[in-house]
Amino acid sequence: MSKSIYSLTLYDEIISVVDKNAEKYGLSRSSYLNAVLAEYFGLDTPRFKAGEMADAFVDEARNRGLSANRNTDCSAVLMTRFSYLYNPTLRYRFEANEHGDYCAKIKVSVRSSNPALQKHLDDFYHIWLSLESNRSDYDGERHEISNG
């Protein structure tokens, strides 16, 4: 879907309600009006599809007994602890894309300075990347492993 700028004349009272609802959902006025109009006319916006993906991520995590939360920006966060020295927490951030140049990002971060743990995680990420690259439907998606 492409976007254009349009000039509309609307009642101040309507815009006041629109602004309150947009703020409630963490959206800009334009994004909120796009969502309301798309729903009214039965259209799925890229943001709506991205939001559905984030919701599905949270639902799946919760079905597996994990704690996950949905953010207003089409992302979700899942945090887990695992048995290792000092019980570090892994933070998974799922970011669905509403612009169409990729489907989603999954960012994994850990709060630990333990070099042995970092090495194990780095090895795991490289194995995961290797498995992703060998999928039959792999089409050269972007992958990145970084410290930071």
Structure confidence by residue, pLDDT tens digits, 24-53: 988 889 989 988 998 899 988 777 777 788
Nearest to 69 by CA among 32, 100, 94, 42: 94
Each residue of 60-111: pLDDT tens digit?
Answer: 888 888 888 887 677 788 877 777 777 777 777 877 776 666 667 778 888 7
In this prediction, residues 114-126 reach a mean pLDDT of 82
Q: Please tell me which residue, 10 or 82, carries the higher pLDDT value.
A: 10
Amino acid, single-letter form, for residue 31: S
Cα dihedral across residues 135, 73, 51, 61: positive or negative: positive
Local structure of 42: helix, strand or coil: coil
Is there a contact between 92 and 58 (Cβ–Cβ < 8 Å)? no
Nearest to 50 by CA among 4, 98, 89, 12: 98
Q: Is the pLDDT of residue 13 over 90?
A: yes
pTM for this prediction = 0.57
Each residue of 122-146: pLDDT tens digit?
Answer: 888 888 777 777 766 666 666 677 7
At how many degrees (to 10) do helices 46-63 and 29-41 cross? 90
The pLDDT score that the predictor gives to residue 20 is 97
